[in-house]
Amino acid sequence: MLTRILGPRYLQLAKNWMPTAGMWGAVGGVGLVWATDWRLILDWVPYINGKFKKDE
């Protein structure tokens, strides 16, 4: 269905850009965690969640 809308040329271009877009997405995700409150985000990761227990 996507081939009929875009055509084979643009489908091939999209396939070629997938690794680059994935890498930029990963870098953006890491940058987001770095720029925001990292502990708020990492509390949702199961393994890391247990390392930073709050002393109450």
Establish if 3 belongs to a structural domain.
no
Establish if 5 belongs to a structural domain.
no
Residue 1 per-residue DSSP state: -
Residue 55 clears pLDDT 70, i.e. is over it: no
Determine if the pTM surpasses 0.75.
no
Establish if 42 belongs to a structural domain.
yes
Say which amino acid occupies 55: D
pLDDT score for 39: 74
27 HSE (CA, 13 A, CB side): 6
Q: Tens of pLDDT along 20-41?
A: 999 999 999 889 888 887 777 7
Query: What's the number of domains the chain is made of?
Result: 1
Categorize the per-residue pLDDT at 4 as very low, low, confident or very high, splitting at 50, 70 and 90: confident
Structural domain of 40: 19-56
Round to whole Å and give the CA distance between 22 and 28. 10
Round to whole Å and give the CA distance between 38 and 36. 6
CB 43 within 8 A of CB 53: no
Establish if 48 belongs to a structural domain.
yes
pLDDT score for 22: 97
Q: Collect all residues with Cβ–Cβ distance below 8 Å to 37 and sequence separation of at least 6.
A: none
pLDDT score for 11: 85
